[in-house]
Amino acid sequence: MEGETFLWLIRHAPVEGVKGTIHAADAPADLGDREQFEKLRRCLPRDVASYASPSRRTVETARALGLEPDLLPEFGEQDFGDWTGRRHDALAAGGGEAYAQFWSDPARGRPPGGESFEEQVARVRLGLARIGARQAALIVHSGTIRAALCIALDLTPHAALRFVVDPLSLTRIDRLATGWRVVSVNQRVA
């Protein structure tokens, strides 16, 4: 790929709903933190291209930032299959052996009917390859940002799961001719 790509990865706003739930793609975002939206908006370059996963919360977050993103399914959150819509505490209490096994190897573990984090990393790699040389904002999920960091830093998927990625945080990475550069991770813009 020719040229350099400068990426502003923003995790979507918090999800409206019960904490600890594995939210579905149609879960809405809590857009109440107007001050943080304004701070993030000021960090973005003028005329930045924008991309988002097709999830409602990423699209709503992008629009609250004044962006009309192209939707790329490759940037969706990890698919938790049959566990989507359920609470982690309920799964831990009654999810059987599958839930415990998943957490023994969360990078390779696959929820019933879902995908592993390793598979998400492969999918995000395809999405990043679709973005040419430009400045781009990606309004995505914590898992998507961890996957991008996995790729940029050439980490194992297991190691990439150690990153904390808070709602409405900014992560900056660049794809240069010489390789990837990480500028910041999980930055709460002041």
84 in helix, strand or coil?
Answer: coil
pLDDT at res. 23: 96
What are the structural domain ranges in the chain?
Answer: 5-187
Superfamily of domain 5-187: Phosphoglycerate mutase-like (3.40.50.1240)
pLDDT at res. 37: 97
pLDDT at res. 41: 97
List the helix and strand counts (H, then E) for the chain: 7, 6
- Cβ burial, residue 187 (10 Å; 0-12/13-18/19+): middle
Question: Which positions of the chain have pLDDT values less than 70?
Answer: 1-2, 95
Backbone phi, psi, residue 166, to 5°: -80, 155
Q: What is the DSSP letter of 81?
A: G
Q: pTM for the full model?
A: 0.96
pLDDT at res. 31: 97
pLDDT at res. 95: 64
108 in helix, strand or coil?
Answer: coil
